[in-house]
């Protein structure tokens, strides 16, 4: 038997370690990543707005490298983690800060309290609705055309990018299930309301398509009826999820999933996928220990029952064992919760996580 040459065996490992040590990064799997959404993925667009929906103060960002940034979490959001999984070496900049060549790697247009409907979230002050975010993207496309020289080059470039779209939560939380401010629940049944939302949603993603988007990721709504806020307000024991809210969310999600087939069949070169956020949260809540969570019905910081009455107060001291909490505040997941959703959206753990396939596959097409 020939002697084993340890030098030959270890050399490839040494090269990899040396590359990582020197900060060498592989190119991202896609050239750019554009993000549309609400407070679940806002990373600073609301910081300059006259709004109650802001998170540019401690304890928000307590575990984020640069501290409070406007992210509604203790650390990274779902799209931050997905950007890392896609190979980007930095987070995607918010629209308010993106300029110059920076826009070529993508822009985050998300705005806390934003909805598919224009009036959604108005009781919280200023916010950028889905249509407003799409208008901001159209402005960005004009800049991309200027940077790349012509419309054909821009269209070719944008067709390779991934577009993350996650709206609808506020259309339930801060509209349909808030009858003291909105008439929608008296105007529409849950099924009719979902139809109205999907119709408006479709119009916006058609505009994105017309402005270059081809690879789109549609995030379904999570289990809003299981959030600390709804448990605090409507659950008899503070643990049992609110069925009427979750049932309405599932109607919307079902119609959103159907929309992927419609787009993929009717729009040339469209590659649209659906992420089953609802099912992923359901898995976590059903078996929290498998994901390292010990608390799934209360916020790590907040006020009142379940820490769910309102969001974190400025300079409030949050829980110390943040990794064990699914929710950071009354509505939003911790970084730990966001990482689970991101990982399963990027690389599906079960067949139901993503339809018809996951983000990793979408990036390779």
Active site residue 39: yes
Q: What is the pLDDT of residue 3?
A: 47
Taking CA 346 as the corner, what is the angle to CA 166 and CA 169, rounded to the nearest 5 degrees?
20
- Is residue 17 a part of any domain in this protein? no
Number of structural domains (the chain) is 1
Q: What is the pLDDT of residue 310?
A: 82
Share of the chain above pLDDT 70, in %: 93
Q: What is the pLDDT of residue 14?
A: 43
pTM of this structure: 0.92
Place 311 in a pLDDT band, splitting at 50, 70 and 90.
confident
Residue 231 confidence (pLDDT) above 90:
yes
Closest CA to 213 of 263, 165, 258, 160: 160
pLDDT in tens, 243-265: 999 999 999 999 999 999 999 99
Question: Which residue would you say has higher pLDDT here, 26 or 45?
Answer: 45
Residue 85 confidence (pLDDT) above 80:
yes
Residue 11 confidence (pLDDT) above 70:
no
> Exactly one of 42, 80, 283, 329 is catalytic; which is it?
329
Bridge-based pairing of strands 271-275 and 215-219 is parallel
- Is residue 94 a part of any domain in this protein? yes
The parent domain of residue 52 ranges over 28-364
Place 10 in a pLDDT band, splitting at 50, 70 and 90.
very low
Residue 285 confidence (pLDDT) above 50:
yes
Active site residue 329: yes
- Is residue 281 a part of any domain in this protein? yes
Report the alpha-carbon distance of residue 129 to residue 137 in Å, rounded.
12
Task: Say if residues 221 and 169 touch (Cβ distance below 8 Å).
Answer: yes
Q: What is the pLDDT of residue 25?
A: 63
Report the alpha-carbon distance of residue 120 to residue 143 in Å, rounded.
29
Residue 6 confidence (pLDDT) above 60:
no
Report the alpha-carbon distance of residue 111 to residue 85 in Å, rounded.
23
- Is residue 14 a part of any domain in this protein? no
- Is residue 325 a part of any domain in this protein? yes
Residue 62 confidence (pLDDT) above 80:
yes
- Is residue 144 a part of any domain in this protein? yes
- Is residue 13 a part of any domain in this protein? no
> Exactly one of 235, 332, 353, 358 is catalytic; which is it?
332
Can you give the CATH number for the domain in which 333 is found? Answer: 3.40.50.1110
* Mean per-residue pLDDT of the chain: 93
Q: Which two tokens stand for residue 219?
A: 């995030």
Report the alpha-carbon distance of residue 110 to residue 95 in Å, rounded.
8
Taking CA 10 as the corner, what is the angle to CA 5 and CA 16, rounded to the nearest 5 degrees?
155
- Is residue 260 a part of any domain in this protein? yes
Q: What is the pLDDT of residue 125?
A: 98
Active site residue 25: no
Report the alpha-carbon distance of residue 27 to residue 10 in Å, rounded.
25
Closest CA to 128 of 219, 41, 227, 225: 41
Across 157-184, average pLDDT:
98
Residue 30 confidence (pLDDT) above 80:
yes
Place 309 in a pLDDT band, splitting at 50, 70 and 90.
confident
Residue 321 Cα to chain centre, angstroms = 24
Across 95-101, average pLDDT:
95
> Exactly one of 38, 39, 69, 80 is catalytic; which is it?
39
Task: Say if residues 343 and 275 touch (Cβ distance below 8 Å).
Answer: no
DSSP string, 81-119: HHHHHTT-SSPPPBTTT--GGGGGG--B---TT--SSTT
Residue 124 confidence (pLDDT) above 90:
yes
């Amino acid at each position: 038997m020939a002697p084993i040459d340890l030098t030959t065996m270890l050399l490839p490992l040494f090269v990899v370690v040396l590359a990582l040590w020197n900060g060498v990064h592989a190119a991202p799997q896609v050239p750019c990543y554009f993000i549309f959404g609400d407070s679940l993925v806002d990373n600073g667009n609301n910081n300059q707005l006259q709004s109650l929906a802001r998170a540019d103060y401690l304890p928000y960002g307590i575990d984020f490298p640069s501290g409070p940034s406007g992210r509604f979490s203790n650390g990274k959001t779902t799209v931050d983690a997905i950007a890392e999984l896609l190979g980007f070496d930095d987070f995607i900049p918010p629209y308010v800060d993106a300029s110059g060549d920076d826009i070529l790697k993508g822009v985050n247009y998300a705005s806390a309290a934003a909805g598919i409907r224009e009036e959604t979230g108005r009781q919280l002050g200023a916010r950028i609705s889905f249509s407003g975010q799409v208008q901001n993207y159209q402005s960005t496309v004009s800049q991309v055309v200027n940077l790349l020289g012509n419309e054909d080059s821009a269209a070719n470039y944008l067709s390779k990018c991934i577009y993350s779209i996650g709206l609808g939560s506020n259309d339930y939380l801060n509209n349909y299930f808030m009858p003291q401010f909105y008439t929608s629940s008296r105007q529409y049944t849950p099924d009719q309301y979902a139809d109205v939302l999907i119709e408006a949603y479709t119009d916006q993603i058609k505009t994105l398509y017309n402005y270059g988007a081809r690879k789109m990721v549609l995030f379904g709504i999570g289990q809003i009826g299981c959030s600390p806020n709804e448990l605090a307000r409507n659950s008899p024991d503070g643990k049992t999820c609110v069925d009427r809210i979750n049932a309405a969310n599932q109607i919307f999600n079902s119609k959103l999933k159907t929309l992927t087939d419609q787009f993929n069949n009717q729009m040339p070169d469209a590659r649209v996928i659906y992420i089953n956020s609802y099912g992923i949260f359901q898995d976590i809540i059903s078996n929290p220990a498998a994901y390292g969570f010990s608390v799934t019905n209360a916020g790590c910081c907040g006020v009142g029952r379940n820490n769910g009455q309102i969001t974190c107060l400025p300079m409030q001291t949050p829980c110390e064992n943040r990794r064990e909490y699914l929710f950071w505040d009354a509505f939003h997941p911790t970084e730990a919760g966001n990482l689970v959703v991101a990982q399963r959206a990027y690389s599906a753990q079960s067949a139901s996580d993503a339809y018809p396939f996951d983000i990793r596959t979408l990036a390779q097409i």
